Structure 1
Amino acid sequence: MTQNHRISLKEKMRRENALLYGMNIYSGSSPVVEIAGSYDLDFLFIDTEHTALGIDERLERLVLSSKVAGVDALIRVSGVVEAEIRKVLEFGATGVIIPRVDNADQMKRIIQASKFPGQGRRGGDSSVRSASYGAPGFDWKTYCQSENDRTVIVPMAESYEFFENIDEILDVDGIDAVHFGPADYSLSRNLPIDYKMRHPEVREKLALLISKCRPRGIRVMVPCFPPDQEQAAELAAMGCDMLLIGSDIYWMNAAGKNVESIRADLDRLRA
């Protein structure tokens, strides 16, 4: 299937009982993005919140690399920042992930920034990639509608405030998925951090999120850690349907541990 005819992330998310797989990208490496795409992942979660990446030419190269690789790129911006949300979408990214959404007012601002009139108040310019740089055939009505249709909006549930306001947040029209952040949720409640989400309160909040999202047709994205079959099966059985199977940093550390193991074995043999 050529990239021009591949199934978009939005289309995949609309399929009943779809289980989608992604990976976190922290390093800012274009080859890593292209390699990840070659493994038929459904999406990439490219982070600017906790990395040196900004909303600049380097990030734009990663978005272009994702297009070369035929994998959809979701960009985590630094927060509810209108200019960042708009620029990421104008780069041609499939969508945005917004950290620390605590209330419905923030969620409304996100939709206003990411959707054109009809759904929001996104500012526009035809001299950008998402508008094909105003090339022949461009018209504003078609562009605005297609952008509203294609873009994926993912707030993060990573604080106790989110869950205090969960119904009001999820009732804001335009949410495609919610990413549950177990580490920051635990920090917000001063709980021990465990990405396996074994703490009863953390597991309860994830179950609550799933129960609230499912009837609204909203997907639930979670980190799958450790990124193995057992953990993935457990999360899928709970109702999570967008699984992040590790990150470029995780897999680099795994390779380093493999080198340590090989060194230790050879040192024993040579002793």
Structure 2
Amino acid sequence: MTTPTAISTNNLISLASQNKICTAFGVKICRGVEIVHIAKASGYDSLFIDLEHTCMTLQEASQICIAAISAGITPFVRVPHQCGSGFIQRALDVGAMGVIIPHIHGVDDAKRAIQTTKYPPMGKRSLSAGFPHFEYASPEPNLLMKEMNDFGSLCFIMIETADSLAAVEDIAAIPGCDVLLVGSQDLTSEIGTFPDWDHPKFWEALMAVGNAAKKHGKYMGIAGLYHRKDILDKVINELGARWIVGAHDVGLLSSGGRANSDLLRSLQAN
């Protein structure tokens, strides 16, 4: 048996290189590894594991990440706001193939996130070994750092504040900023258009993010618009977005449960 020296496939990078979108299933309340196989059976390419708006622990997120890597579903983790650089590194060490950093307010915030996420020379992440990304094998350190920087520790900078939108061009230019992720609900709230998804100001914001991503060779992602196929179609085909976050488990369970309940209640006993 050979020792793995290559990192597990990152579906966002792989699919985007083929000019395809990478879809993401949101995980908030389902804390068992079963959710990985449900996501895979449903046809998703990646996971958006949310540690910001949930009581899920890092241990639970780690188990989901490990199962996802084995199943070929790329796990990305949104860390809590102001969780600290140590927490971000731990999320990456225990299985996340990228971290989503919320509430960025400018270049300095983005640089701090990248410094924590990336190994030298791009960042200042502390070197360790024995990662799920390599099936716990230990490649030569320089290879490990390069593979992790390029494929196993993507840094998603959320554009969800008016400040980050104003600075999006400068943020996109920072080495190590891999993905500009639009947080649609918070962003529209900050720019004063929520919940009018058709407001011209929102489309202008999306264009600014898409143009910055294209100019600097970064990926554009979008979350919170899984209910608007028309807008997503434009964001994908006109702005080049490649990471598309779908609904979370709680929303899908609630909507599916309501549909089934309504069906049952529509039945009449003879």
Same fold (TM over 0.5): yes
| CA pair 189-224 structure 1, distance change in 2 beyond 3 A | closer
Q: Distance in 1 between matches of 2:18 and 2:187?
A: 29
Aligned to 2:65: 63
Q: CA deviation at 1:200?
A: 2.2
Instruction: Look up the SS of the partner of 2:220 in the other structure.
Output: strand
2:119 to 116, 120, 132: 116
For the residues of structure 1 that align with 2:92 and 2:7, how far apart are their CA atoms? 20
Q: 1:106-145 residue pairs with structure 2 within 5 A? A: 106-126=109-129, 129=132, 138-145=139-146
Alignment-derived partner of residue 36 in structure 1: 39
Distance (whole Å) between structure 1 residues aligned to residue 8 and residue 120 of structure 2:
28
The one-letter code of the counterpart of 2:257 is G
Residue 3 of structure 2 is matched in structure 1 by none
Are 1:181 and 2:180 an aligned pair? Answer: no
* Aligned mates of 1:219, 1:139 — CA distance in 2: 29
Equivalents in 2 of 1:53, 1:155: separation in Å? 21
How far did 1:38 drift? Answer: 2.9
- Rate the CA distance shift 1:213–1:76 in 2: closer, same or farther, 3 A: same
Consecutive aligned runs of 4 or more in structure 1 exceeding 3 Å deviation: 4-7, 127-133, 224-232
Whole-Å separation in 1 of the counterparts to 2:156 and 2:121: 19
Change (3 A) 1:48 1:114: same
The one of 71, 74, 94 aligned to 1:72: 74
Alignment RMSD: 2.6
Q: Which deviates the most, 120-129 or 164-173?
A: 120-129
Taking only the aligned residue pairs, the percentage that are identical comes to 21
Q: Name stretches of at least 5 consecutive residues in structure 1 with no aligned partner.
A: none
Give me the whole-angstrom Cα distance separating, in 1, the residues matched to 2:139 and 2:110: 30
Q: Which moved more, 1:236-245 or 1:153-162?
A: 236-245
Instruction: Say whether the 8 Å CA contact 1:34–1:68 is kept in structure 2.
Output: no
- C-alpha distance after superposition, 1:4-60 (max 9, x if no partner): 9974225325515332211211112321122102334221110000000232x2111
SS at match of 1:244: strand
Distance change in 2, residues 1:132/1:226 (3 Å)? closer
CA deviation after TM superposition for structure 1 residue 126, in Å: 2.8
What TM-score, normalized by structure 1, do the two folds share?
0.86
1:217-270 CA-to-partner distances (Å, cap 9, x unmatched) read 11111136344754543432332222122221121012112123213311xx33
CA apart distance, 1:184: 0.9
- Matched residues, number: 262
Tell me the amino acid that sits aligned with residue 143 of structure 1: L
Instruction: List alignment gaps of at least 5 residues for structure 2.
Output: 1-5
